[in-house]
Structure 1
Amino acid sequence: MSPEAPPTPAVPFGELDRRIVGALHVDGRASWHRIAKVLGEQERTVTRRGTELLRSGLVRITGFVLRAEGVIVGLKCAPGQARLAGGVLARREDTLFTHVLTGSTDCVAEISCSRERLASLVMDELPATPGMVTSFTQPVLRYVRTAHEWHPGLITDEERAKLEESAAIPRERRVGGLQDLSRGDQLLLRALADDGRRTYEELGRLTGLSDVTARRHLDRLRREGRVLIRTVVSPRLVGLPVEAMLWVTARPADVGAVADGLRESPFVRYASRLAGDHQFLVNVTLPSTAALDEFISDAVWARRVQSVETSFVLSTLKRSGLLSTAD
């Protein structure tokens, strides 16, 4: 589905569907048998519902690789051109997410861009974006939370812990450095980007590795943080219909405390520490606008900031490296 297409109508998920999505958020490659056992549900029912969710395209599993450092790109567009400009950004291979927003910034995206390529991105590539009037870039200094670390509260802490016992949890998140991987490993990552739940038999067939070798290599790549098995779903489908981007400004002395507060909140889906006019970009998903107002005005972390500029997400064109189908 192209980024210019209108959003696909979709009814919010039922309770079991949300719990299955919550389990997949912890481990996108967990078997239906494992998920059913942890959730205390019948395996046949979990298998049927989970398979239907994946087949619908409303829930997708991808092998996510951060190929270079992140750069936040904001666009101000000509009237009526935000979707066009955002679509151009979304179709880039190196774009991680793209949102169309309310407020002074019409479109925001994160692009994987090495420091060596940054000058070309800023001076050559972005100015050529159709529909764009002005742009700004703010390199990511570090990630406070990524979408991979976000857990939307769809399952209990006990259920989450049980799923983590059998998941290949990364020791650290690796940025770039894929050139040193074997051809087989690179083919493995490419196959997982399209479908993070491919069977080991499929992975072996696509990479030329045996099933056993594909399993061993994938476990190693996951534990090394070279690939993150990520579940991609529109937050509104799991009961969080209000999504916003917050541009947060704080004094240098308060940056650490603000980061700690953001990291503790279940509403924060993504937060990065930036170099530029704002110290943080924060993606939040909440059940209501009242909850958003409370989050911005009453949360402990908010008492340490100088300003918060709030932009509602009007349309999501790309999430976790995948063009959107349900936003």
Structure 2
Amino acid sequence: MDSIRDLGELDLAIVHALQIDARAPWTRVAAAVGADAATVARHWQALREESLAWLTAWPTPERWSSTTDVAVVLLDPRTTAEVIDEVVRQAWVLSVDDTSAGCLVLVAGSGGLAVLGERVRALSTLGARVRRMDVASAIVAEDSGWRLRVLSRQQQRMLRDGGSSPSEEPRPPRPEVVDDLADALDEDPRMPAATVAQRLGVSEATARRAVDRSVAAGLLRLGCDLAMPAAGYRRGAILWGRSADPEGAAGRAARLPEAHRVGILVGRAPLFACVRARSLTALPQIEQAWGDDVEVVDRWTVLRSLKRNGHLLDDSGRTAERVPLRW
């Protein structure tokens, strides 16, 4: 693994701010993190140039719920690096983690379970050795909800209060408008409203309102991702568990500070929680916090994250290439 610099306090604060509101003006970010706007913009530019942090538009459970099925697929450890390189480049592969049990791949498909099955068989066509496939009955938390937890509650409130806060729940735009917005903002989540308006063929005010409503409705989630080792999170694990109340247990897992991806599968160990930590010695404490009613039946160590939300990651966790997600 290439050595990368540890992010400073201001860098981490800026990333946390952009995780909360990726489109916040630099003046508002600066006020929240306690620096001037020019300094904030300069630090962000350095993070981007070093590929240590990047803006992203995340697919959300709200968008998945009615149209998308997700499978969690385990590949045999003997699957070659050349084949894995082909797997991560598929537009319908959401994430790939190399683990102590083999590569864990999240596959998405719209159009029903038959399409999802075709996608998994396509992995075999690429040369991957599929050991097992489990269909997700629910994705309770995904990476966009994970936060660094650097800013205080007051600082976070400054970011949220500075944005639009409609008095009543906004009506989300039509699905085709959300799709057009997602395509545009996937290129640049901070794309100016005037440019978004030009893409959509509407007024600037309409474009700004459409973005705000889509985000408020959970149909778009714009945020910031980063090279986890640079923030001190050099270890990851996947916990598999059972509970008499899987929905309640999954909800608790999603609230754990270390959890960045949680789901319920149709399988023998229906609960899975992907966690990040500074050391694997933190796992017993994480499991204890999950709850006494959860039986953790297996633990996999994450050796390396290869793909996350359309970004291919290098050995140090930096973004190396972007493959837009389409399914």
TM interval, short-chain normalised = 0.7 to 0.9
Q: Residue 58 of structure 1 corresponds to which residue in structure 2?
A: 52
Displacement, 1:121?
2.5
Distance 1:166 1:137 in 2: 44
Displacement, 1:9?
4.1
Task: Show the 5 A alignment for 1:32-47.
Answer: 32-47=26-41
Equivalent residue for 2:108, pick from 99, 108, 112: 112
Structure 2 length normalisation: TM-score? Answer: 0.83
Give CA-to-partner distance per residue, 1:56-95, whole Å, 9 cap, x none: 332111222355232211111426x1x3333222211122
Distance 1:26 1:258 in 2: 25
- Change in Cα spacing, 1:181 to 1:318, as seen in structure 2 (3 Å) is same
Q: Residue 72 of structure 1 corresponds to which residue in structure 2?
A: 72
Letter in 2 for 1:307: V
In structure 1, list runs of 5 or more residues that go unmatched. Answer: 1-6
Query: Number of aligned pairs?
Result: 305
Structure 1 length normalisation: TM-score? Answer: 0.83
Distance 1:139 1:167 in 2: 38
Task: Show the 5 A alignment for 1:242-253.
Answer: 242-246=235-239, 248-251=240-243, 253=244
SS in 2 for 1:181: helix
Displacement, 1:211?
2.9
- Change in Cα spacing, 1:168 to 1:89, as seen in structure 2 (3 Å) is farther
Give CA-to-partner distance per residue, 1:107-132, whole Å, 9 cap, x none: 1121222324123234x3132132x2
Displacement, 1:218?
1.4
Letter in 1 for 2:125: A
Letter in 2 for 1:26: I
Displacement, 1:167?
4.7
SS in 1 for 2:292: helix
Equivalent residue for 1:28, pick from 22, 26, 32: 22
Displacement, 1:258?
2.4
Identity of aligned residues (%): 23
Distance 1:215 1:39 in 2: 25
Displacement, 1:282?
1.2
Distance 2:74 2:163 in 1: 36
Distance 1:186 1:46 in 2: 31
SS in 2 for 1:229: strand
Letter in 2 for 1:65: P
Equivalent residue for 1:233, pick from 226, 234, 240: 226
The alignment status of 1:91 with 2:83, answered yes or no, reads no
Indicate if the aligned counterparts of 2:28 and 2:162 stay in contact, CA closer than 8 A.
Answer: no
- Change in Cα spacing, 1:235 to 1:221, as seen in structure 2 (3 Å) is same
Letter in 1 for 2:28: R
